[in-house]
Structure 1
Amino acid sequence: MTITRRRFLAGTSLAAGAAMAGALPGGRPAVAAAGLTPFVDRLPVPPPAKPVGKALVGPYPTADVYRMTVGTLAHRFHRDLPLSTVWGYNGSYPGPTISAVSGRPLYVQWVNGLPNAPHPLWSPAFAAAHGPGIGGTSPDAARTVAHLHGGRVPPDADGWPEEIVLPGRSTKPYLYPNFQEAATLWYHDHALGITRLNVMMGLAGAYVIKDGWENALPLPKGAYDVPLIVQDRMLTSLGRISYPLDLAPEFFGDVNVVNGKVWPYLDVARGKYRFRVVNGCNSKFLDLAFADGRAFAQIASDQGLLPAPEIRTSVRLAPGERVEIVADFQRDRPGAGIVLVNRLAPAPYPGGGNAAVPENVMAFRVGSAYGHTAALPTKLRTVLPSVPQQTRWTTSQYLEKIPESAAKATRRFTLIEATNTGTAICVNAGGFTPAIRDEAGKIQWSDPLPFKVKAGDVEIWEFTNETVDTHPVHVHLAQMQLLGRISPPGTPAAGSAEGPGVVKDTWQLHPGETIRLIGRFEGYPGKYAFHCHILEHEDCEMMRWFELV
């Protein structure tokens, strides 16, 4: 890895900040990964969310209503660590899994039940970000905003970063129409300027949409269908979350956490399992593989099923991305232990390269009983040149491959690291501002784009990366398909399926590369964000918004 001035500043800032955080009252310097024994805690499976009633009024009176309350809870990250305080939804970290059905709307009311006290990860340096103090609130307020990542939802339910909810308050019930195909989405906090802090404290959970077509496929179900929300943390010797005290350019923890546990294990039957994998890390890219090199099948991406299973030996996920894989333990002997590892170094990607020794993620302990042994289907869905809207919104059986000729406009954006901007915007501890520059040369969150998007139109969005890091670009509302990449020599290959018939909402954009995406902007008029999903970048200016009219 080449140590540039930018890399040196980022590394020293993070190290110093983490040491200071570890020395706060009640903690000692953060524990090293080697200090904990792996695979001693059973993998928790987040509980299902339960509706509290029916809407009774409005356009969908029979729709279920859920109430999700943010609160503090005592949590043990590892068997050998004390209980510590995290945040969760309805007493669970990660939050309960919300199960939905394509074409069947539901409502969620989000409640901030946190104490009216300063944010537990707050540092005065964070006030320089765009967001703290919004609306005359205290900069260190424990404010929340819930966003359904990957959802096609009305703008007043999308989690607009400025629509904060203070302790003791709640949102109106958010309408989630679920007019989209079966897919693994996730919900997480999106408060302007402190998203990274709130997600670090625990505010994330799975949201799974299913439909009749997908349910009829011979894929693992029930106990053989398991969400894996992978995050990284730096923990003090008292089990508390440690986080830098300055505006660190990125964050990399020293332990991987799956569904809230450090390096857990899962007892598995001899058969196939469907794992819904979410990269819920702040900054960390994951290149997941089994330590023994075995192959698995990728069956879905961010926005649902692939046309057919794709056999792989690893999958690379940027923060915010999801994949669904099927792993088969049928031929393993009872008592075997299979380890899932991350092959990347805990550093900005791709500059950090591979880890000298792959990091543990979790283990699978094979039992003697047989489980789901049916063969995988060779075909998962059909790609067509045109699919009626009602069909697109209620079943994953068909996918419309949008031709480039259907586009009404092409928009161009450039990801940069700005210095000496001359304006009062966030500058991180590395001395630069990660930003998205539009065609008018504007870079600030508060700057409207020089265009508006017409509802129902197909558009091409091109993103060019002038920085040294790979950025995961996430566009709210839109489900995008890849037209192509213009990449310099040495650019990393695709980390997961992204070819014809693959629909995503978060895309890896590599250094020096231009990516061309096409999508139909269906939905509801209003304002929607798009941003880098490295949360430290998003919180420090690498986020813009567009308006659908």
Structure 2
Amino acid sequence: MSTAPIRRRDLLRYGAVGLGAALLPLGLQRIVGVSDRQVAGLVVRQAGGGDFAARSPAVTHFDVAYQVKDLKPEVMPRSGYDATTDYYDVSMHEATADILPNLKTPIWGYNGKFPGQTIEAYKDRKAVVTFRNNLPAGFDGLTIHHHGGIQRPEFDGYPLDLTYDSRSYPTLIQPGHSWTYEYPNPNSACTNWYHDHAYGKTSQHVYRGLAGFFLIRDDMEHQFNLPKDEYELPLLFQNRRFDSTGALVFNDNEHSGVVGDVQLVNGKPWPRLQVAARKYRFRLLNGSNWRRYFFTLSNGRPIIQIGTESGFLRAPLNLPMIQLYQGERADVVVDFGGLAVGTKVILQNRSDEAIGTPMGEVMLFEVTSTVTDDSQVPVILDNTWTDLSTPQAVASATVRRIFEFDDSNGFWVINGRTFNKDRFDANPRYGTTEIWEFGGGSGWYHPIHLHLIDFQVLSRDGNPVRPWERGRKDTVALAEGDTASVIINFDPKKFFFTGPYLMHCHNIDHEDHDMMTQYNMLAV
């Protein structure tokens, strides 16, 4: 009889009564159970299970050609609207997706789509979204996080049910139930996303398909003459592993990070995108559970970065490489102008673990036409936001906090501690500025995401920050053994929501194995 691990996250979710086992380090926690099991179309590999190294069915790179309209995720239709608000109704349910050739892949999807439909919002116009859990009875509870969004705690996708300050927060949305989220969207134009955030299950739920873009637009963006419509495309980068039937394979016992061997872009493996010889705007999102991307173009042309997670840069950057860790986004322009019809350009991943492997190729751009291009990248983008990296801003910081991200006794920890819903590790107040210092001592890389707030990176290992990190961000990458200092202004003029918000590693397998904490946002 095979055995499978019981993890601390499951003890917290279901309690220890009847389990009859003490909490042991990961890989040593055992109860009687199945090792490989099929769970609603997902092959879950656990301790004692099948060979996770088995390869996915072969896929020929760049075999299928797509036009922008075919690769672009659908825009979510509104269920209604009024003078101030757009309304949406979203079903989370089982479906199948056409991912691998001639195979159907069972997925969980927002409105049954993989990836989810894109929510397009406008600055200061509220979006009210009812999410309905239409999974079969007995399946997982769900919660939704608008990643990059600014919203009250009860609408932020808290991973557990919580009662705080006499306000009742929702429990996880159980099958057959729903919860309505309110998003006020005070953000500047930016590239956000939404995904499941259930405690201990985020990795598996996102892996199944519960993720999609959430784009916010504003008047400034509309004044620019950037590429738009059929020349603008959000790109979600993920990697997955499949069995011979097309089912997703998920290693439930791999707390270092789930690694796939099929590269997906908007749910399609190694796509070939047909483009015209002109400029395109791409919204890049690393939505992978584990993999990082160091993007370059095979023809050596620069990639023009115009924005980070929280909005436009002050001025565009011509970069030879775009580095994206999990959860990070980059708003970029790629210029195919002057290239002859028939030219092919590969988007490459030059990260250490991808070089020399099939994952070193991501997608192919094929020039198939010439058109007139009147779009422009402004010399100045957005210089209206406050630069917190100035000596005056740094001097105004009244609190400095230190957070170490490491592993301990089989868990991923922050300052030596795992997640505890009854503990706050910071209590910042509106009207103040703080500096938070992050250290990664485990030999792994950790992209650190803060809910609610954005920040600026001040330094890395005491050195000046890299050019693309000088903008407003909500996720900062810690490479192996790296340190980073960020400055945060808790500005009550921008928003004023109090209560619990999260900070965690966005290697979501690390998050699920407890590299997460929370801070308590206090009034002035």
TM-score (norm 2): 0.82
Name the CA shift for 1:52/1:468 in 2 (closer, same or farther; >3 Å).
Answer: same
- Which position in structure 2 is the counterpart of 1:104? 125
1:372 paired residue number: 373
Partner of 1:407: 397
Q: For this pair of structures, how many residues does the alignment match?
A: 466
In 2, the alpha carbon distance for the partners of 1:202 and 1:226 equals 19
Task: State the alpha-carbon separation in 1 of the partners of residues 422 and 44 from structure 2.
Answer: 38
Consecutive unaligned residues of structure 1, counting only runs of 5 or more, are 1-8, 12-16, 56-60, 118-140, 346-351, 388-398, 420-431
Residue pairs, 1:376-525, within 5 angstroms: 376-382=377-383, 403-419=393-409, 432-437=410-415, 442-486=417-461, 497-499=468-470, 502-522=471-491, 523-525=496-498
CA contact (8 A) 2:56 2:244 kept: no
Unaligned runs of 5+ residues in structure 2 are: 1-24, 28-34, 161-170
Partner in structure 2 of residue 291 of structure 1: 298
Paired amino acid for 1:452: N
**CA offsets 1:407-451 (integer angstroms, 9 cap, x no match):** 2322211112112xxxxxxxxxxxx211111xxx64433351354
Match of 2:115 in 1: 94
More deviation in 531-540 or 505-514? 505-514
Change (3 A) 1:10 1:216: farther
Match in the other structure for 2:97: 75
Alignment deviations for residues 317-358 of structure 1 (CA, whole Å, 9 cap, x no partner) = 11000001101112111122221121225xxxxxx4744666
Secondary structure of residue in 2 paired with 1:98: strand
Q: CA deviation at 1:401?
A: 9.8
The alpha carbon displacement at 1:23 in A equals 8.7
What pairs with 1:7-156 in structure 2 (closer than 5 Å)? Answer: 21=43, 32=55, 35-41=58-64, 42=66, 44-54=71-81, 62-78=84-100, 80-117=101-138, 141-156=139-154
User: Which residue matches 2:238?
Assistant: 231
* Local SS of the residue matching 1:382: coil
Displacement of 1:259: 0.6
Aligned partner of residue 370 in structure 1, secondary structure: coil
1:532 equivalent in alignment to 2:510:
no
Greater alpha carbon shift after TM alignment, 294-303 vs 364-373: 364-373
Name the CA shift for 1:408/1:254 in 2 (closer, same or farther; >3 Å).
same
Residue 254 of structure 1 deviates from its aligned partner by 0.4
Would the alpha carbon gap of residues 356 and 165 (structure 1) be closer, same or farther in structure 2, given more than 3 Å must change? closer
* Contact preservation (8 Å) 2:326, 2:447: yes
Q: 1:30 & 1:22 partners in 2: Cα distance?
A: 13
Of all paired residues, the percent bearing the same amino acid is 33
Could you say which residue in structure 1 is the equivalent of 2:22? none
Preserved CA contact (<8 Å) 2:86 2:125: no
Cα distance in structure 2, aligned partners of 1:503 and 1:160:
23
Displacement of 1:464: 1.6
Q: 1:483 offset after TM fit, Å?
A: 1.7
Given that residues 531 and 542 in structure 1 are in contact (C-alpha distance below 8 angstroms), is that contact kept between their aligned partners in structure 2? yes
SS of equivalent residue, structure 1 residue 74 = strand
TM-superposed deviation, 1:81: 3.8
Q: In the alignment, is the contact (CA less than 8 A) between 1:81 and 1:238 conserved in 2? A: no
Q: CA deviation at 1:230?
A: 0.5
CA contact (8 A) 2:74 2:118 kept: yes
Pair 1:371–1:269, CA change in 2 (3 A): farther
Aligned to 2:172: 164
Cα displacement string for residues 225-279 of structure 1 (whole angstroms, at most 9, x for unaligned residues): 1000000001112111011142432111001101111111222112100000100
* Distance (whole Å) between structure 2 residues aligned to residue 100 and residue 236 of structure 1: 37
CA contact (8 A) 1:263 1:360 kept: yes
Closer/same/farther in 2, CA of residues 289 and 107 from structure 1, 3 Å limit: same
Q: Which amino acid aligns with 1:370?
A: V
SS at match of 1:377: coil
Q: Contact 1:416 / 1:434 at 8 angstroms: preserved in 2?
A: yes
- Superposition CA RMSD, Å: 2.9
Q: Is the 8 A contact 1:236 1:242 kept in 2?
A: yes
Give the SS at the match of 1:538: helix
**TM-score, normalised relative to structure 1:** 0.79
The alpha-carbon distance between structure 1 residues 269 and 484, as it changes in their structure 2 partners (threshold 3 A), is same
Shift of 1:175: 1.3
Structure 1 residues 338 and 181: alpha-carbon distance in aligned structure 2, compared to 1, 3 A threshold: same
Displacement, 1:304?
0.9
Aligned mates of 1:34, 1:280 — CA distance in 2: 22
Distance of 1:29 and 1:545 partners within structure 2: 33
**Which range moved further: 509-518 or 195-204?**
509-518
Aligned to 1:3: none
Offset, 1:487: 5.5
Q: What SS does structure 2 have at the residue aligned with 1:283?
A: coil
SS at match of 1:213: helix
Q: Is the 8 A contact 1:385 1:400 kept in 2?
A: no
Q: CA deviation at 1:65?
A: 1.0
